[in-house]
A and B are shown apart, each in its own frame.
Chain A
Amino acid sequence: MLEVKKVGIISCSGEEFAGGCLSRIASRRVLESSRPGRTVTICLPLFLAGGEEERYFTQNFPTITIDGCEKRCAFRATERLSGKVTKAMTVSEMLGQDVAIDAPFSQRQLNSEREKQIEKVRIALTEAVDEIIGKTSEEDVITPLNPPPGMRLL
């Protein structure tokens, strides 16, 4: 039987605080750059808005919640509305409460300090993914081949 190795990341994405912005961006970067193909992100608000696929995934696959602040809304809402969370993380624990409850920021306000904070959260999230499904081995890495002339790789 084929073992499916995917982890769901549920970010609070909290709009009121910097912690939510950091959790959202770090989650996206894990999905796109750190562990593409091994992670999916799940929209938290869809749990209440009728997202059957989201609920199914959370009930059947390992999930990590990443919250911005100590209210831990993503963790609490996921456990209440969908299923058991495999690992719960908070930005405030990683970077301190002051950073977490700072004002939210837009893409235009990203600076080197914010990038460092995002990087810390991204690394912690990536490590959490690896803890759950193991590190990417050499065998898992597919090296693209140069196709023969006239052949196109799909």
Chain B
Amino acid sequence: MTKENLVFLVPCSGMGKVHGLIGREAVFKVVTELRPKATELACLAEIVTQDEEIQERMNGRKAITVDGCPQMCAEKNVRLVGGQIYASLRVVDAFRNHRGVQAGSATQLTDGGLLIADDLAETIAAKVDEALQGGNQGA
């Protein structure tokens, strides 16, 4: 697979909420274990700079964003640098199958939090597969 075909995964930095850490953990699992040959990470902080380098890198490329709060920072910032949002996922949706679970904090997840991250990772991996099969959802 050529570099240009890799799907960008961009979680929010999630400094303030456990949801942010769950999104990060889920994305790391996809990139390192579930779909290592099909995905690529991009630093959200670099996207925020809107530097020419990151704009060139992301321009027109499919991206899946994972946001921890309603501000949807990852999605908004990726759009601003020209990334093509294939799917915009919200961590809060991953909680629906885990009602009442104490997930931990923005610093450290509990086993329950890691379980939610694992579920979310499966959802992200499925979206990656769709994107590679030529889907244009969210475009």
**Co-assembled chains A and B:** yes
Binding site for B on A (CB under 8 A): 11-17, 20, 24-25, 27-29, 32, 41-51, 67, 71, 73-74, 76-77, 80-81, 104-108
Tell me which residues across on chain B come within 8 A of A25, comparing CB atoms. Answer: 107
What is the CB-to-nearest-CB distance from A56 to chain B, in angstroms, rounded to a whole number? 15
Q: Given A15-B42, A32-B107, A73 and B49 touching (CB < 8 A)?
A: yes
B61 within 8 A of A: no
- Residue of B at shortest CB range from A110? B108
Tell me which residues across on chain B come within 8 A of A44, comparing CB atoms. Answer: 13, 15, 44-45, 48
Q: Is B13 touching A11 in the complex (CB atoms < 8 A)? A: yes
Q: Is A14 touching B73 in the complex (CB atoms < 8 A)? A: no
Q: Is A49 touching B49 in the complex (CB atoms < 8 A)? A: no
The interface bits of chain B over 40-52 (1 if a CB of A lies within 8 angstroms of the residue's CB, else 0) are 0111111111100
Q: Is A13 touching B48 in the complex (CB atoms < 8 A)? A: no
Tell me which residues across on chain A come within 8 A of B10, comparing CB atoms. Answer: 15
The interface bits of chain B over 104-124 (1 if a CB of A lies within 8 angstroms of the residue's CB, else 0) are 011111000010000000000
Chain B interface residue count: which class?
A: 35 or more
Tell me which residues across on chain A come within 8 A of B105, comparing CB atoms. Answer: 32
Q: Given A49-B72, A50-B71, A13 and B114 touching (CB < 8 A)?
A: no
The answer, among B16, B27, B41, B108, for a CB contact under 8 Å with A41, is B16
Q: Is A76 touching B49 in the complex (CB atoms < 8 A)? A: yes
Tell me which residues across on chain B come within 8 A of A29, comparing CB atoms. Answer: 107
Q: Is A45 touching B43 in the complex (CB atoms < 8 A)? A: no
The interface bits of chain B over 15-29 (1 if a CB of A lies within 8 angstroms of the residue's CB, else 0) are 110000100110111
List of 7 A-B pairs having minimum Cβ-Cβ separation, nearest first = A45-B73, A13-B13, A73-B45, A12-B45, A28-B107, A14-B43, A49-B73
Tell me which residues across on chain B come within 8 A of A15, comparing CB atoms. Answer: 10-11, 13, 24, 27-28, 41-44
